[in-house]
């Protein structure tokens, strides 16, 4: 059975299926269809969706809602992501599970509101002060807009951090025929909530004792992720954007600050293999490896088919977990090739990551920043 | 307990000490915010809801430290963004009593854009602004409520800008409850905070809370005590929005204290409308696990 569907609708379904029950967003092309659909659908399932006054408020509301127990989503494009920046840092620091869809369009600035781009790849990684790791997934077709949205919600809970779903204008707004059987439904874990001190209904005469008991954060071992203490839950928890100890109390004590910041790094970077998601199509005799992600992967799949039909050996790696960089899969794919071609709709942002791993190999890019897609022919040409 | 408005709180009072956290404030000795904190403890004691039913959200600044000095769920967030975060909390869990606090810079400079929208959305929030007409935490810069001509480290030759009038601003955007207090009148301030919490909708209290380190002489507690003008004694009718606007015009010139405006017919709060809509749609709701299938059958 088939249907005609675009990426926006697939993301909305993925979010609803993942148990998303809060959405706040601000209109922006090409992310508005997600906002419009969730404003219609979420109230039907007891959820809340709201059009905020700007992007700063959108993500702020999502952070607040998550602290009070909701599973929140927001969606924007490059200019809006710029306004999310400070609150992304807040979500990282407060360890707030949150899914952020960035439907990329051509930048910089207003750029091409209705034209495709993949220029936010490094922006999502480094888009807030401090340089702490985030997770970013990039669906390469409409089915994956559904399944990776579910995966994003799962990872947000697993790692208590903002997870980006990096799509683009073409993927989200172009209706495609999809075989319904091809939707994958990865599991989405429930939020692990901190069990606290039992509180009598009569009172909180001992409330000061119950503050942050048990502690809402744990930094030892550094990569361990604590259950979430929620507003309305057992532990009278505080959140803060300032450096804090395990009880979320503000501190500047160097040892405690170091433990916090090492935890924010280690919980993601030490688990990169758990997050890693690629589509690896390696040909034993190939000298050339193609790497692509997102909408550009579509052209790559076709180019690989056609090159092989012509009798040429070629390998392809489609990266679906952009951050952290899936180094294990990339190193494997790089083992037996002489040359790597990285195709992307920017000036070579992800190529930098490949070059880092492909020391001694020839690495070249196929890049477009004119609002058009890379074609299979351009990739086939690059293989010659 | 399920309540949709803070007016339906239990009558039992609680000991204000329940709301005092073990953390010691790091404000300067003599800071007006100590008085605000004490007034808040007392108001919460009168309201009677336990700490674990209260969420206290702030931005950044001296006054934004206040949630940490209470036993409520707290959030010392980012500069100017307390209102959106608080609205997210309230929408997610309308049963929580949500209080928002910050300074004049947080509320009327960097976060000023959010105030109008919080007012027009009308969630049941209590917004306490500790207005000291100066940036204290960052050491004495010009604030949006600093008087014109004020010399500060960022207006060394005197400010060329008119101040924001928080009372006129919130009234003009249609806030249903607008009041002004000062820790120079503790019983009055306590009553105002309690009344603001009880108002079923967005309630704003501008608290003239002196900065002892960077504030001007005429903004200190001693001056407040000498010059404050309680609206109750002036025969002000707090149900009259036009009268309230008239009183608000003298912000910065006369220190009026009390309720400027309390809407006599509070409209339903946003969260109540959301709940009603959810309830109306509930019979049509589908099992989440079947959502994909439902879409596909369309």
The pLDDT tens digits for B42-74 are 999 999 999 999 999 999 999 999 999 999 999
Same domain, B90 and B101: yes
Q: Is there a contact between A100 and A166 (Cβ–Cβ < 8 Å)? A: no
Residue A24's H or E segment, with its range, is strand A22-25
pTM tops 0.90: yes
Task: Residue B85: give the domain boundaries.
Answer: 2-266
Same domain, B112 and B137: yes
Counting one residue from chain A and one from chain B, the pairs whose CB atoms sit within 8 A come to: 179
* pLDDT score, position B3: 42
State whether residue A317 is helix, strand or coil. Answer: strand
Q: How far is B95 from chain A (nearest CA, A)?
A: 9
Domain A2-182 matching CATH 3.40.50.970: the answer reads yes
CA–CA separation, A75 and A99 (whole Å): 8
The pLDDT tens digits for B215-248 are 999 899 999 999 999 999 999 999 999 999 999 9
Within 8 A by CB and 6+ apart from A216, the residues are: A194, A226, A228, A229, A235, A237, A246, A247, A248
* pLDDT score, position B284: 75
Token pair belonging to A293 = 């992600």
CA–CA separation, B50 and A357 (whole Å): 56
Indicate yes or no: CB of B91 within 8 angstroms of CB of A22.
Answer: yes
Give chain A positions within 8 Å (CB) of B16: none
Mutate to test the interface with A, among B19, B53, B83, B85 (most CBs of A within 10 A): B85
Same domain, B47 and B128: yes
Indicate yes or no: CB of B117 within 8 angstroms of CB of A53.
Answer: yes
Q: Kindly report the CATH number assigned to the domain that includes residue B236.
A: 3.40.50.970
Q: How far is B149 from chain A (nearest CA, A)?
A: 32
CA–CA separation, B181 and B165 (whole Å): 15
Q: Do domains A2-182 and A276-382 have the same CATH topology?
A: yes
Same domain, B262 and B287: no
Same domain, B250 and B273: no
* pLDDT score, position A198: 47
Peptide bond into A214 cis (omega under 30): yes
- The total of structural domains in chain B comes to 2
What does the buried/exposed string (b/e) look like for B52-74 if buried means 16 or more CB atoms within 10 Å of the residue's CB? bbbbbbbbbbbbbbbbbbbbbbb
- Please give the span between the terminal C-alpha atoms of chain A, in angstroms, as a whole number: 39
Neighbours of A338 (CB within 10 A): 11
User: What strand order describes the sheet that includes A315-319?
Assistant: A278-281, A315-319, A288-292, A339-344, A362-367
Same domain, B82 and B193: yes
Q: How confident is the model at residue A211 (pLDDT cuts 50, 70, 90)?
A: low
Same domain, B285 and B175: no
Fold annotation for A276-382: Rossmann fold (3.40.50)
Give chain B positions within 8 Å (CB) of A65: 88-89, 91-92
Same domain, B224 and B285: no
Indicate yes or no: CB of B93 within 8 angstroms of CB of A231.
Answer: yes
The pLDDT tens digits for B75-105 are 999 999 999 999 999 999 999 999 999 999 9
- In terms of Cα–Cα distance, which of B20, B35, B71, B19 is closest to B189? B35
Of A95-104, A137-146, A246-255, least confident by mean pLDDT is A246-255
Same domain, B111 and B175: yes
Q: How confident is the model at residue B22 (pLDDT cuts 50, 70, 90)?
A: confident
Give chain B positions within 8 Å (CB) of A15: none
The pLDDT tens digits for B194-203 are 999 999 999 9
Neighbours of A302 (CB within 10 A): 15
* pLDDT score, position B289: 54
Q: How confident is the model at residue B1 (pLDDT cuts 50, 70, 90)?
A: very low
Question: Is it the case that residue B9 has pLDDT exceeding 70?
Answer: no
- In terms of Cα–Cα distance, which of A67, A62, A45 is closest to A101? A62
Where are the domains positioned within chain A? 2-182, 192-271, 276-382
Evaluated on CA atoms A301, A302, A304, A308, the torsion sign reads: positive
Same domain, B257 and B287: no
């Amino acid at each position: 059975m088939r249907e005609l569907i675009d990426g926006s609708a697939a993301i909305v379904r993925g979010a609803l299926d993942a148990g998303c029950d809060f959405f706040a967003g601000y209109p922006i092309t090409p992310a508005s269809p997600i906002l419009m659909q969730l404003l219609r659908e979420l109230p039907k399932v007891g959820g809340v969706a709201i059009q905020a006054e700007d992007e700063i408020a959108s993500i702020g509301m999502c952070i607040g809602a998550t602290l009070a127990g909701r599973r929140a989503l927001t969606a924007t494009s490059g200019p809006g992501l710029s306004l999310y920046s400070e609150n992304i840092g807040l979500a990282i620091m407060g360890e707030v599970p949150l899914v952020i869809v960035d439907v990329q369009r051509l930048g910089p600035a207003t750029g091409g509101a209705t034209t495709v781009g993949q220029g936010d790849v490094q922006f999502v990684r480094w888009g807030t002060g401090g340089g702490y790791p985030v997770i970013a997934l990039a669906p390469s077709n409409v089915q994956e807009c559904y399944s990776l949205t579910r995966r994003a919600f799962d990872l947000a809970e697993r790692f208590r951090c903002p997870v980006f779903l990096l799509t683009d204008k073409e993927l989200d707004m172009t209706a495609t025929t999809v075989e319904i059987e091809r939707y994958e439904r990865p599991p989405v874990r429930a939020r692990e909530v901190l069990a606290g001190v039992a509180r009598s209904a009569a009172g909180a005469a001992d409330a000061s004792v119950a503050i942050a008991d048990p502690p809402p954060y744990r930094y030892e071992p550094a990569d361990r992720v604590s259950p979430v203490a929620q507003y309305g839950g057992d532990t009278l928890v505080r959140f803060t954007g300032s450096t804090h100890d395990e009880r979320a109390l503000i501190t500047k004590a160097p040892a405690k600050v170091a433990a916090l910041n090492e935890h924010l790094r280690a919980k993601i970077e030490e688990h990169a293999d758990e997050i890693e998601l690629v589509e690896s199509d390696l040909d034993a005799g190939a000298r050339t490896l193609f790497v692509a992600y997102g909408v550009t992967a579509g052209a790559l799949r076709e180019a690989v088919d056609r090159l092989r039909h012509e009798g040429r050996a070629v390998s392809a790696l489609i990266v679906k977990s952009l951050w952290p960089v899936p180094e294990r899969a990339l190193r494997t794919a790089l083992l037996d090739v002489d040359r790597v071609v990285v195709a992307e709709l920017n000036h070579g942002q992800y190529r930098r990551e490949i070059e880092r791993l492909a020391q001694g190999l020839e690495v070249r890019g196929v890049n477009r920043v004119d609002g058009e897609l890379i074609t299979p022919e351009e990739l086939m040409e690059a293989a010659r | 307990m399920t309540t949709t408005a803070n007016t339906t709180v239990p009558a039992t009072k609680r000991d204000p000490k329940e709301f005092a956290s073990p953390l010691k404030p790091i404000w300067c000795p003599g800071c007006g915010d100590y008085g605000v904190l004490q007034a808040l403890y007392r108001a919460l004691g009168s309201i009677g809801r336990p700490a674990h039913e209260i969420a206290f959200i702030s931005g950044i600044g001296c006054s934004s430290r206040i949630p940490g000095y209470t036993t409520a769920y707290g959030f010392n967030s980012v500069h100017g963004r307390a209102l959106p975060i608080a609205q997210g909390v309230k929408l997610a869990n309308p049963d929580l009593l949500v209080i928002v606090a910050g300074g004049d810079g947080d509320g009327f400079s960097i976060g000023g854009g959010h105030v109008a929208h919080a007012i027009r959305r009308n969630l049941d929030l209590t917004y306490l602004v500790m207005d000291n007409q100066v940036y204290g935490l960052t050491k004495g810069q010009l604030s949006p409520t600093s008087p014109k001509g004020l010399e500060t480290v960022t207006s060394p030759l005197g400010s060329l800008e008119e101040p924001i009038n928080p009372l006129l601003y919130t009234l003009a955007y249609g806030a249903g409850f607008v009041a002004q207090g000062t820790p120079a009148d503790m019983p009055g301030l306590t009553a105002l905070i309690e009344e603001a919490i009880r108002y079923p909708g967005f309630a704003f209290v501008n608290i003239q809370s002196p900065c002892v380190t960077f504030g001007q002489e005429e903004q200190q507690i001693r001056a407040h005590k000498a010059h404050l003008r309680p609206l109750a004694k002036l025969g002000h009718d707090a149900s009259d929005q036009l009268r309230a606007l008239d009183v608000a015009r003298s912000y910065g010139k006369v220190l009026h204290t009390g309720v400027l405006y309390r809407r006599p017919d509070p409209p339903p709060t946003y969260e109540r409308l959301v709940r009603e809509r959810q309830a109306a749609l509930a019979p049509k709701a589908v099992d989440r696990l079947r959502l994909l299938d439902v879409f596909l059958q369309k």
